[in-house]
Amino acid sequence: MKITNEIFQVGGLDFTSGEDAAIYAIHFDGHAAIIDSGCGGCQNRLLKNIKDCGIHLTDIDYLLLTHCHYDHTGGASSFRKASHCKIVAHELDARFLEKGDNEVTAASWYGAVLEPFSVDLELTHSKEIISLGQKEITAYHIPGHSPGSVVYVAESEGQKVLFGQDVHGPIDPRLLSDRTQYQESLRLLLSLNADILCEGHFGIFEGKHHVRDFIGVYMN
C-alpha cells in the first residue's frame, strides 16, 4: 500500500500474516530500508510485496528494527539472507536478539523460538542519523515498551513520517517494560510533530492532529 511515492506498507495484517506487526518500506532514489520483519512465516509474500512496490532486493541497504519483540524481528535473520542488507537495532535490545531470549522478545507468546542472530549496526545514542542514499533517516531511542525501543523518522514529499511501532505498548514486566520511561517517550513522540504516523498494529494516521490524538490516548 502506497503511503507516499517513497513509502509503502508491505507487511502485517492483510499484507503478510495476522501475526506480523506492520512492515514498512522506504525507497529513496534506488536505496531502500525496511522497517521491521514480522515473524518470518510469510517471507515469500513479503518479498513479493516489496518487489511489487518497485524495490529490488539489491536496493535494500538496511532492515531497521524498532525493538526486539518477535512479531517485529522473527523474520529478520532470514530476510537478511534473502536481501544481504544490514540489520540495525538499539544495543539495549540487540543483546536479547543475539542470545535468543524467548521471554524478553516475547517469542514464547507466539509459541515460537527465536534463533539467535547478530545485529550489524547497534544504535547507542538517544538520536542517530542513518544515511540512505542522499537522504537521511533519524533514529530516536524511546525506552519504555522495551529497553531499546526506537522510532525512525523520514521526510517524504514535504511530510515528516514517523515509524512509531507499538506506540500503544503494552507495558509488561516480562518484557522489561518501564512505565515512567514509556510516558517520557510518548512526550518525545509528540514533540516530533509528525505529519504521518506508521504504527505497528493500529494502522496509519495522517494529519498532525490525528497523530497527536493517537499518541495522546496512551499518556497519563
Q: How far apart are CA 162 and CA 207, in angstroms?
A: 12
Q: How do the domains of the chain map onto residue ranges?
A: 7-216
In this structure, what C-alpha cell is assigned to residue 73?
524481528
- Looking at domain 7-216, its CATH class is alpha beta
Give me the phi and psi of 209, to 5 degrees please. Answer: -70, -35
One digit per residue, pLDDT tens: the chain, 220 residues?
A: 999 999 999 999 999 999 999 999 999 999 999 999 999 999 999 999 999 999 999 999 999 999 999 999 999 999 999 999 999 999 999 999 999 999 999 999 999 999 999 999 999 999 999 999 999 999 999 999 999 999 999 999 999 999 999 999 999 999 999 999 999 999 999 999 999 999 999 999 999 999 999 999 999 8
In this structure, what C-alpha cell is assigned to residue 142?
524511546
Q: How far apart are CA 92 and CA 146, in angstroms?
A: 9
Quote the pTM value: 0.97
Give strand pairing partners of 29: none
Q: How far apart are CA 62 and CA 136, in angstroms?
A: 12
Q: How far apart are CA 19 and CA 42, in angstroms?
A: 10
Q: How far apart are CA 41 and CA 210, in angstroms?
A: 32
Identity (one letter) of the amino acid at 104? V
- Cell 538517544 locates to 126
